[in-house]
Amino acid sequence: MVPHLITALTGPINELEQRIIDSMPATERWFRLEWMEHTPPFYTSVDIRNAGFKLAPVDTNLFPGGWNHLTPEMLPLAVQAAMAAIEKICPEARNLLIVPENHTRNSFYLSNLAQLQRIFNMAGLHVRIGSISPDVKKPLVMDLPNGESITLEPLLRERGRIGLKNFDPCTILLNNDLSAGVPGILEDLHAQYLLPPLHAGWSVRRKSKHFRSYEEVTKRFGKVLGIDPWLINPLFGKCSDVDLTSSTGLEQLQTQVDTLLGKIRRKYKEYGINEKPFVVVKADNGTHGMGVMTVRDAKELAALQPQTLASMAVSKDGQTVHDALIQEGVLTQERVHEAVAEPVVYMVDRYVVGGFYRIHADRGSDENLNAPGAGFVPLAFHHSTQLPQPGARPGASAPNRFYMYGVVARLAMLAASYELEATDPNAEVYD
Amino acid sequence: MVPHLITALTGPINELEQRIIDSMPATERWFRLEWMEHTPPFYTSVDIRNAGFKLAPVDTNLFPGGWNHLTPEMLPLAVQAAMAAIEKICPEARNLLIVPENHTRNSFYLSNLAQLQRIFNMAGLHVRIGSISPDVKKPLVMDLPNGESITLEPLLRERGRIGLKNFDPCTILLNNDLSAGVPGILEDLHAQYLLPPLHAGWSVRRKSKHFRSYEEVTKRFGKVLGIDPWLINPLFGKCSDVDLTSSTGLEQLQTQVDTLLGKIRRKYKEYGINEKPFVVVKADNGTHGMGVMTVRDAKELAALQPQTLASMAVSKDGQTVHDALIQEGVLTQERVHEAVAEPVVYMVDRYVVGGFYRIHADRGSDENLNAPGAGFVPLAFHHSTQLPQPGARPGASAPNRFYMYGVVARLAMLAASYELEATDPNAEVYD
């Protein structure tokens, strides 16, 4: 089933798609050279919004869940990329330990873990799952909706290494975004690879830093392609030390929102776009789609109820939000079965391995879709491939559309790579 | 369409399949460690024969044609592997030149070139085709059966580099097995990567060296798996300086055939196999399936007509055969649409990327199928993947069967890697 692409026929995205397809060898070479200098995150997923007139990543996840939504057709690519990653980082590895989030009762999340276990097993590793959840005191066999089951075991620490009973892994795959901070059990590991590293977690990462890196990346890539980077870059501002429960904090936020809306308005005018600009306000460090607010006018903020502000101020795992990211809102013009849809692209190492559409029947094209009630539809290659087809009419080829998404997702991944280098506590300084 | 696997239900191959599936992580790690020490050939195809009681590679091609027989579903894997190979060998590459065989009128071969061009273009290179055929004096646009076309251009040499008019490639992909010897135009290139290297061509390669390496590889891998290496290794002998037009040469060959048939008979007895042993006599250096003879009794050789002997004595491109390889014949028990079939596995760098069945309606299960009249059927994953399914009943899972083929094909590729190291004229000696 090829999702209906309602942006398929006209507008700047088709020009962008054409330019990206035409520049494929130059683009791929550009990425090759970047990856000579920079290390890609171990695995990444990127949420993309396609407004028809612009296309931008809105969230870059370095501990992606949702692997269970990749189709069986996509798995060989994921396995091959996992093999390449393992060969590069830890070829001698025999055992891999996955450290998951603590949602031990969420069967979607457990299916995600089962899929990760399958991918790395096929790549040639013994894979077991070690939970840091206080609920996991002994091995727990959890049944999955598809009839399979997985086993969660309590994580143990001994002589500076973590593992399970009778299982000493050389490599640890974190699938926990560390929103609650870094648990001591994961710190200062002795001679074990931790992938991704701890500073990729939300206790260190800031969205504003990511989008600052991304802006840099798009400026350089824009020159390669000869395009205005705005076509792939969401504008943003940052509001520091915001206390949304006080009126001072609110005023500061309103000013910032106003400024950003003004910038977007000028860009819309430049391109003759007749949409109403909006911004999205979210915590500068991670959440799972909670505390995300769509704002079309700074005045709306004054009218907000105290409980909305309070929910904004607290993110997943109860962390208080001090800094807010104000991001240019990017409409999503894609629809699958009439529901608003946004593509999510999955990568292992530097390779795009698959993706799907996140859809939400009850949300608008200017709203966050990563919310309860979301569904998932595999991306457009049921019987096809995700390889581009040079020569196809722009907008008419699902593989070409997906290739473009893959390019933008890789730009976001590259930005994350810069970001991780800049925040690496063990970085060597060559000044 | 899943080809009917008539070996699916019983016999030692199912035990082998089970053992290979069970040992997947150990096998993959073993390959990872091997590839730390050895460089895989750039691309490889391996012909495999499955006799039901044993499974063995019979031909390892380092300049594979037939890429056009891979299905669109397999292409993303080939592209990803090509990206990995390019990144490793020549990340800065911009232009790739393919140097093809001289069959400029064979539309199957031209489709193969178009497919290679597509794969490396998708991997991010500008790809053109430079022919050394004296027939190509100016750019020739050749139409393909599928409506596409490709352009063959005359290869030029200037200041120690080869290229085309206005096209200076940093990397050359040889798709010519150099059966006729190494043309001077390809020798001593200045600062250009030649992949595979010249000594991978049939002017240097010898099948007996390849199968000697393969024997070594299977002994070591047999220990990992706990199996008799014979189950995956075809026995062989070599007959040097054979002059088939004299009776002395013939006697020598008969003695060798007799010896090998005796060895096979003992193995058959050990395993209780009620088949009649046979050997295959072929030139020790390349051919395209010409000059290959099935022999069940050394006496048959005496009865051969002089013209058969003469055809044996001359291989492709008119080279005289001085050395013969006498190889244990491996029946193929696979059938597709009632035609005798043998799997052919394709690899790029260290990765299995696809394959197909070579079928031949007019040939027996003990005959060479690489002959005029052969057909090609994609391997067993029309809607499926080529990932193994642990837990499936041995023989019942096409992906598991294919995983086993992929392991054996990679063992042959590893043997080729050893072989290329041993014959590398630029190898550094550390004695």
pLDDT tens per residue, range A354-366: 999 888 878 888 8
What DSSP assignment string belongs to A256-306? HHHHHHHHHHHHHHHHT--SPP-EEEEESS--SS-SEEEESSHHHHHT--H
Lookup: tokens for B365: 């299960």
Give B22's contacts in chain A (Cβ within 8 Å). Answer: none
Q: Give the residue numbers in A contacting B (CB under 8 Å), as ranges.
A: 24-25, 27-29, 31-33, 35-36, 72-73, 75-77, 79-81, 83-84, 86-87, 91-94, 121-126, 350-351, 383-388, 390
Give me the torsion for CA of A178, A184, A190, A193, rounded to 10°. Answer: -10
Give the nearest partner residue to A33 out of B80, B91, B385, using CB atoms.
B91
CB pair distance less than 8 Å for A94 and B29: yes
A380, A397 contact by CB (below 8 A): no
Give B385's contacts in chain A (Cβ within 8 Å). Answer: 72-73, 75-76
Chain B residue with CA closest to A72: the answer is B385
User: Element (H or E) spanning B294, and its range?
Assistant: strand B292-295
Domain boundaries, chain A: 1-62+206-234+333-424, 68-200, 235-329
How far apart (Å, rounded) are the C-alpha atoms in residues B314 and B319? 6
What DSSP assignment string belongs to A220-232? HHHHHHTS-GGGT
A100, A68 contact by CB (below 8 A): no
Residue A344 β-bridge partners: A47, A356
Shortest alpha-carbon distance between residue B60 and chain A (Å):
22
Give the nearest partner residue to B73 out of A27, A93, A385, using CB atoms.
A385
The 8 Å CB, 24+ separation contacts for A256-261 are A256/A326, A257/A281, A257/A295, A257/A298, A257/A301, A257/A326, A258/A298, A260/A235, A260/A236, A260/A326, A260/A328, A261/A296, A261/A297, A261/A298
Shortest alpha-carbon distance between residue A47 and chain B (Å):
22
Shortest alpha-carbon distance between residue B321 and chain A (Å):
41
Query: Which residue in this structure is represented by tokens 């280098």?
Result: A421
Give A148's contacts in chain B (Cβ within 8 Å). Answer: none
A45, A62 contact by CB (below 8 A): no
Separation in Å, CA B405 to CA A307, B50, B342, B343, B410: 62, 9, 11, 8, 9
CB pair distance less than 8 Å for A73 and B125: no
Give B387's contacts in chain A (Cβ within 8 Å). Answer: 72, 75-76, 79, 122
Provide, for chain B, the percentages of residues in helix, strand and coil under a 3-state DSSP scheme, each rounded to the nearest 5. 35, 25, 40
Give A124's contacts in chain B (Cβ within 8 Å). Answer: 24-25, 27-29, 31-32
Of A368, A366, A352, the closest CA to residue A404 belongs to A352
Residue A343 β-bridge partners: A357
Separation in Å, CA A223 to CA A27, A121, A228, B413: 11, 41, 8, 42
Chain B residue with CA closest to A32: the answer is B91
Q: Supply the DSSP symbol for B244.
A: T
Shortest alpha-carbon distance between residue B310 and chain A (Å):
47
Residue type, B89: I
Can you tell me whether residue A423 is helix, strand or coil?
A: helix
Chain B residue with CA closest to A84: the answer is B84
Of B305, B306, B339, B373, the closest CA to residue B4 belongs to B339
Of A302, A298, A294, the closest CA to residue A363 belongs to A294
CATH of domain B68-200: 3.40.50.11280
B167, B95 contact by CB (below 8 A): yes
Structure confidence at residue B162 (pLDDT)? 97
Give the nearest partner residue to A28 out of B33, B123, B383, using CB atoms.
B123
Structure confidence at residue B340 (pLDDT)? 84
**Helix and strand tally (H, E) in chain B?**
9, 18
ipTM of this complex prediction, to 2 decimal places = 0.86
Q: Give the residue numbers in B contacting A (CB under 8 Å), as ranges.
A: 24-25, 27-29, 31-33, 35-36, 72-73, 75-77, 79-81, 83-84, 86-87, 91-94, 121-126, 350-351, 383-388, 390
CB pair distance less than 8 Å for B124 and A383: no
Q: Supply the DSSP symbol for B143.
A: E
CB pair distance less than 8 Å for A76 and B387: yes
Give A72's contacts in chain B (Cβ within 8 Å). Answer: 384-385, 387
Structure confidence at residue B8 (pLDDT)? 41
CB pair distance less than 8 Å for B28 and A83: yes
Chain A residue with CA closest to B36: the answer is A91
A101, A150 contact by CB (below 8 A): no
Please provide residue B106's backbone torsions phi and psi, each rounded to the nearest 5 degrees. -95, 110
Shortest alpha-carbon distance between residue A95 and chain B (Å):
9
CB pair distance less than 8 Å for A122 and B75: no
Cβ atoms within 10 A of the Cβ of A351, count? 22
Lookup: tokens for A91: 């070829």
CB pair distance less than 8 Å for A25 and B126: yes
Residue A346 β-bridge partners: A45, A354
Of A91, A47, A133, the closest CA to residue A330 belongs to A47
Shortest alpha-carbon distance between residue A173 and chain B (Å):
17
Residue B351 β-bridge partners: B348
Give me the torsion for CA of A292, A296, A299, A300, rounded to 10°. Answer: -50
CB pair distance less than 8 Å for B29 and A384: no
Most A-contacting residue of B385, B400, B403, B407 (CB-CB within 10 A), to test interface: B385
CB pair distance less than 8 Å for B25 and A73: no
Q: In sequence order, which residues have a C-beta less than 8 Å from that of residue A31 and are 6 or more positions away?
A: A350, A410, A414, B124
Chain A residue with CA closest to B387: the answer is A76
CA distance from start to end of chain B: 54
Structure confidence at residue A170 (pLDDT)? 94
What DSSP assignment string belongs to B50-101? E-SS-EEEEEEESS---GGGS-GGGHHHHHHHHHHHHHHH-TT--EEEEEE-
Total beta-carbon pairs less than 8 A apart between chain A and chain B = 105
Shortest alpha-carbon distance between residue B272 and chain A (Å):
34
CB pair distance less than 8 Å for B351 and A83: yes
Give A385's contacts in chain B (Cβ within 8 Å). Answer: 72-73, 75-76
Burial B44-61 (b: 16+ CB within 10 A, else e): bbbbbbbbbbbbbbbbbb
Q: pLDDT digits over A6-25, tens only?
A: 444 445 677 888 888 899 99
CB pair distance less than 8 Å for B75 and A388: no
What is the bridge-based pairing of β-strands A126-131 and A339-348? unpaired
Can you tell me whether residue B36 is helix, strand or coil?
A: helix
CB pair distance less than 8 Å for A121 and B24: yes
Shortest alpha-carbon distance between residue A415 and chain B (Å):
20
Query: Which residue in this structure is represented by tokens 């001289």?
Result: B102
CATH of A235-329, one of 1.10.3470, 1.20.950, 3.30.70, 3.30.1490: 3.30.1490
Distance of CA A357 to the CA centre of its chain: 13
Give A390's contacts in chain B (Cβ within 8 Å). Answer: 121
CB pair distance less than 8 Å for B122 and A387: yes
| Low-confidence residues in chain A, pLDDT < 50 | 1-10, 289-290, 381-385
Most B-contacting residue of A115, A122, A382 (CB-CB within 10 A), to test interface: A122
| Low-confidence residues in chain B, pLDDT < 50 | 1-10, 289-290, 381-385
